[in-house]
Structure 1
Amino acid sequence: KRGNRQQLVTNYCFGHPNSTVHLYPFGPTIHLVNHYNRPNARLRWADQSVEASSQETQTSLTTLPSLDQIRTRSAPKSMLLELVALRNIRKGEEITINYGRGWEDAWWRHVRRWESTHDPESSDGAFAHDHYVPASVIDDAAKTIRTEAEQKENPYESNVVITCFYRYGDRTESERQKAKEASLKSPSQSAIITYRWKMTRGIYDLKNLRPCSILKRKQGDTGRSAYAVRMFNRPNHDESHDDDRIPEDQLHIVTHIPRSAIRFMDKQYTTDQHLKQAFRHPIGLEDNLFPAEWMDLT
Structure 2
Amino acid sequence: FGHEMSSLLLCPVTNAILINHCSDRKDSRHPCGIRGGGPNAKYQWASNPKWDTKTSNWLNKTLEEMEEAKDWRLLSMEIVATRDIEEGEEIFMDYGPNWEEAWDKHVETWEQPESGSGFEHHVSVSELNQQQGSIVVSNDLINEYGFATDVFTVCWYWEHAVESEQEYDHEDFDDGWKDLDDEDIMSRYGESGQRFIRHASTNDYGEFWPCSVIHKNDDGNAPNSPKDDSTYTVRIYPSKTLTDTPKWHSRGLPRFLTNFPRKSIQYFTKPYRSDQHLPDAFRHHIEINDDIFPEQWKNRKPGWKGVHAKSTFKKDDRVLANYLGRGRWYKATIERAKSNKHYDVVYTDDSVVERDLNESFIKKSDWVTTPLRYLGSSLYL
Whether the TM-score (by the shorter chain) exceeds 0.5 is yes
Residue type matched to 1:80 in 2?
M
Quick check: which one's helix share is greater? Answer: 1
Residues 207-239 of structure 1 deviation map (CA, whole Å, 9 limit, x = unaligned) = 23322241x45557x9996544332233xx136
For structure 1, which segment, 35-44 or 287-296, has the greater mean C-alpha deviation from structure 2 after superposition?
35-44
Q: Which residue of 2 aligns with 1:19?
A: 7
Structure-to-structure mapping, 1:88-127, within 5 angstroms: 97-115=93-111, 117-120=112-115, 122-123=117-118, 126-127=119-120
Give RMSD over aligned pairs.
Answer: 4.7
Q: Which residue of 2 aligns with 1:281?
A: 284
Give distance in 1, aligned partners of 2:8 and 2:234: 48
The runs of 5 or more residues in structure 2 that have no matched partner are: 27-37, 49-54, 141-145, 223-228, 302-381
Residue type matched to 1:267 in 2?
T
Cα 1:208/1:104, change in 2 over 3 Å? closer
Q: Percent same amino acid at aligned positions?
A: 20
Offset, 1:265: 0.2
Offset, 1:261: 6.3
Q: Which residue of 2 aligns with 1:56?
A: none
Give distance in 1, aligned partners of 2:165 and 2:13: 48
3-state SS, counterpart of residue 73 of structure 1: coil
Offset, 1:89: 6.5
Give distance in 1, aligned partners of 2:67 and 2:109: 35
Cα 1:70/1:82, change in 2 over 3 Å? farther
Q: Which residue of 2 aligns with 1:212?
A: 212
3-state SS, counterpart of residue 173 of structure 1: helix
Give distance in 1, aligned partners of 2:136 and 2:78: 52
Offset, 1:95: 6.8
Cα 1:161/1:95, change in 2 over 3 Å? closer
Residue type matched to 2:69 in 1?
T
Q: Which TM-score applies when normalising by structure 2?
A: 0.50
Candidates 129, 132, 135, aligned match of 2:128 = 135
Cα 1:246/1:292, change in 2 over 3 Å? farther
* Cα contact 1:61–1:291 (8 A) shared by 2: no
Offset, 1:276: 2.5
Matched, 1:166 2:157: yes
3-state SS, counterpart of residue 148 of structure 1: coil
* Cα contact 2:103–2:282 (8 A) shared by 1: yes
Structure-to-structure mapping, 1:6-155, within 5 angstroms: 14-17=1-4, 18-24=6-12, 26=14, 31-37=19-25, 42-47=42-47, 64=59, 66=61, 67=63, 68-69=65-66, 71-74=68-71, 76=73, 78-83=75-80, 85=82, 97-115=93-111, 117-120=112-115, 122-123=117-118, 126-129=119-122, 134-138=127-131, 140-142=132-134, 145=135, 147-149=137-139
Offset, 1:71: 4.5
Q: Which TM-score applies when normalising by structure 1?
A: 0.62
* Cα contact 2:99–2:287 (8 A) shared by 1: yes
Offset, 1:24: 1.9
Residue type matched to 2:209 in 1?
L
* Cα contact 2:19–2:91 (8 A) shared by 1: no
Offset, 1:34: 2.3
* Cα contact 2:165–2:247 (8 A) shared by 1: no
Q: Which residue of 1 aligns with 2:261?
A: 259
